Every structure is written in C-alpha cells, then in structure tokens.
Amino acid sequence: MASDTSFPPIVPNRQVRRLQRDLDAAVDNPLPFIREQELLVDDGLNVVTGIMTGPENSPYAGGYFRFVIKFPPEYPFKPPDFFFKTPICHPNVHSETGIAWHDELYYTWAPNITLSQIFTSMHSLLAQPNYKVPLSDKNLPNKSPEKARLWTQQYA
C-alpha cells in the first residue's frame, strides 16, 4: 500500500511576501542608482543585497557600493539595518562594520516605508552626510573630501 508523501505547499510568511512585493516594485520602477538587487531568504533571516552607485557631485561619484539590508523578525514594524560591504569613508557609516545610520529614516520609521524609499534615503545620505551624528570620527570626509574620493577610487 502506497503512502501519501505529498506535503502542503510552502507559503512564505508575511514578511517575505512584503519584501518580495517591494522588490518587485523596485524592479518594475527602477531607481537609476541601484544596479542590482536580490532578496535572499534563509532560516528567517531575510536580506536584500545589491549595488548602489555614488551620487554625482559627491566624493562617491563613479563608485559602485555593494550593500546588504538585514530585516529583523519585527519588520515592517521595526526598521532594517543597512550595511555597506564596500569600504566607504563616510561619517554615517561605521568604519569597521559598514552599518549605515540615517537618523531621519530610523527616527521616523513607519511600516509603510518601502524598499525603494530605503534605497533613496541611503543614496541621499551619501550625498548629504549628517555630520552631527557621526558613527566614526575617522570617516569624516568634510575634514578631507579627498580621503573619501580616494577610498571611492580604491575600493568602489
């Protein structure tokens, strides 16, 4: 007698569906500074990876910066963490971990903020750093924009 070995289909959780919908929207309406993006789902740790180009008229112009966005289990009620994997000299990016801090994004977080809005916020942070809340004093390009340009040329 044969046993029924079929299993019910795997239904992605709410968070994964939300991320996939946001990612689909970002692909359908591409931002000119995002070169690629991908959703990776692994044991409840949901991440989006991609590449962002540096803003024109900034020390980061011409650079390609690899990033990872990690979404906590509480997302979309809690903001994700945004990490630059490409070394970058920026006051709002930690010099060792690469985590980026955009106080406007985190302090005004709302569940309806989309992935495209996160991309846009982080891109604008590259163009307009917040020198009032640096994560690393050694990454202050206002003291030396040449250092930021040099890192962009060297790493990005």
Mean pLDDT value across residues 31-53: 81
Annotated domain spans of the chain? 14-155
Overall fold of domain 14-155: Ubiquitin Conjugating Enzyme (3.10.110)
The pLDDT value recorded for residue 95 is 83
The string of pLDDT tens digits covering residues 14-29 is: 888 888 888 889 889 9
Please state, in angstroms and rounded to a whole number, the distance separating the CA atoms of residues 153 and 145. Answer: 12
Task: Write down the pLDDT at residue 13.
Answer: 78
pLDDT of amino acid 132? 78
Measure the CA–CA gap between 133 and 128, rounded to whole angstroms.
13
Selected residue with higher pLDDT from 134 and 8: 134
Residue range 138-153: mean pLDDT, rounded: 74
Average pLDDT, the chain: 83
What residue ranges in the chain does DSSP mark as E strands? Answer: 34-42, 45-53, 64-71, 81-84, 99-100
